[in-house]
């Protein structure tokens, strides 16, 4: 499906999403223990909840600190908060600027890449390296947006404060295949798509170098493999390399 058609889907779905948000309510997924939100009309929130007590932070990244400056429950006339966190907290989008010197910042990432059909691919719990061989074991080549549901979802790591170094990652040869095939967005269910401790950020350089935004930190526990409509929108921060995002998905077919 072309970019114009993808944008058309996004425009047509905006009203449905807005209506759904008015009635959203937390739901506990019995099979996985995942706290998700049903937004109505089949939409599911796949964003990690930002909570300093529960949300993992990539090792060495800025910690999350949320505080109330004023509170009605303490006698103030207003409740007012201050939020401090890194740009790559929770569910977030890496813009090309993250690893490309002249790459676009997050506020200039084209929306047609962030809205449209997406394919979720299940990766076994035993697999840490999503390399070209592993990628080609799955049906991915007709997808415009590819999301990997890995051991991180199976183990609930996006809902656990401990940072796990042994998350599944996309190897550079798989990133090259995705980029060469014309994929417009890649997503993973932990805080990075790159191997922890990699000597060079080749996966990021390959994807971002082609202008392909990377969605990291998705909470895919309530999601199964298959075809979806997806909307993932970052905070509109001028001139920076990434930003937290809200992501929702709706199943279209198996």
- Please list the active-site residues: 98
Rounded to 5°, angle at Cα 245 from 239 and 37: 170
Q: What is the phi/psi pair of residue 245, to 5°?
A: -140, 160
Tokens (6 digits) for 108: 């200039």
Q: Show the 3-state SS of 157-225.
A: HHHCCCCCCCCCEECHHHHHHHHHCCCCEEEECCCCCCCCCCCCCHHHHHHHHCCCCEEECCCCCCCCC
Centre a 10 Å sphere on the Cβ of residue 65 and count the other Cβ atoms it contains.
10
Tokens (6 digits) for 66: 């949320």
Report yes or no: 169 and 196 within 8 Å, Cβ to Cβ: yes
């Amino acid at each position: 499906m072309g970019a114009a058609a993808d944008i058309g889907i996004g425009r047509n779905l905006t009203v449905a999403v807005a209506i759904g948000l008015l009635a959203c309510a937390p739901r506990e997924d019995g099979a996985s223990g995942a706290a998700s939100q049903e937004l109505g009309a089949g939409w599911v929130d796949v964003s990690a909840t930002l909570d300093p007590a529960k949300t993992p932070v990539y090792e060495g990244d800025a910690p999350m600190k949320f505080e109330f400056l004023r509170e009605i429950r303490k006698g103030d006339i207003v409740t007012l908060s201050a939020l401090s966190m890194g740009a790559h907290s929770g569910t977030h989008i890496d813009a090309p600027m993250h690893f490309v010197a002249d790459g676009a910042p997050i506020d200039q990432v084209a929306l047609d890449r962030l809205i449209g059909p997406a394919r979720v691919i299940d990766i076994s719990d035993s697999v840490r390296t999503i390399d070209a061989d592993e990628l080609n074991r799955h049906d991915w080549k007709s997808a415009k947006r590819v999301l990997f549901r890995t051991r991180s979802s199976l183990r609930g790591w996006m809902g656990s404060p401990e940072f796990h170094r042994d998350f599944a990652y996309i190897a550079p040869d798989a990133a090259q295949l995705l980029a060469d095939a014309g994929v417009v967005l890649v997503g993973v269910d932990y805080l990075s798509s790159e191997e922890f401790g990699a000597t060079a950020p080749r996966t990021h350089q390959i994807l971002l170098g082609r202008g392909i935004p990377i969605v990291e930190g998705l909470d895919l526990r309530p999601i199964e493999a298959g075809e979806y409509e997806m909307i993932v929108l970052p905070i509109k921060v001028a001139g920076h390399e990434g930003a937290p995002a809200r992501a929702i998905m709706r199943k279209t077919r198996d």
